[in-house]
Amino acid sequence: RRVLMDTWYAAKDLMLFIESLGKTYYCPLRCNRLVDDSEGKSPYRHVDSLQWDARSLAHGKTIKIRGFPKQHKVKLFRVEVSTHRTDWVVTNDLTQDSSPAAQDACGLRWKIEQFHRELKQLTGLQKCQCRKARIQRNHIASAVLVWVRLADIARQTARTLYQVKHEMLDDFLRRELKNPSVPMRFA
Give the model confidence (pLDDT) of 83-134 as tens digits: 888 889 999 999 998 999 888 887 788 888 889 899 999 998 888 888 999 9
Same domain? For 71 and 146 the reply is no
Residue 113 lies in a domain: no
Q: What is the pTM of this model?
A: 0.69
Q: Which residue, among 84, 75, 83, 85, has the nearest Cα to 105 in the 3D structure?
A: 75
Q: What is the mean pLDDT of residues 142-164?
A: 94
Residue 44 lies in a domain: yes
* Band of pLDDT at residue 180, cut at 50, 70 and 90: confident
Name every residue whose Cβ is closer than 8 Å to that of residue 14 and which is 6 or more positions away in sequence. Answer: 5
**Looking at the 3D structure of the chain, how many domains does it have?**
2
Same domain? For 8 and 44 the reply is yes
3-state helix/strand/coil string of 9-30: HCCHHHHHHHHHCCCEEEEEEC
Same domain? For 11 and 51 the reply is yes
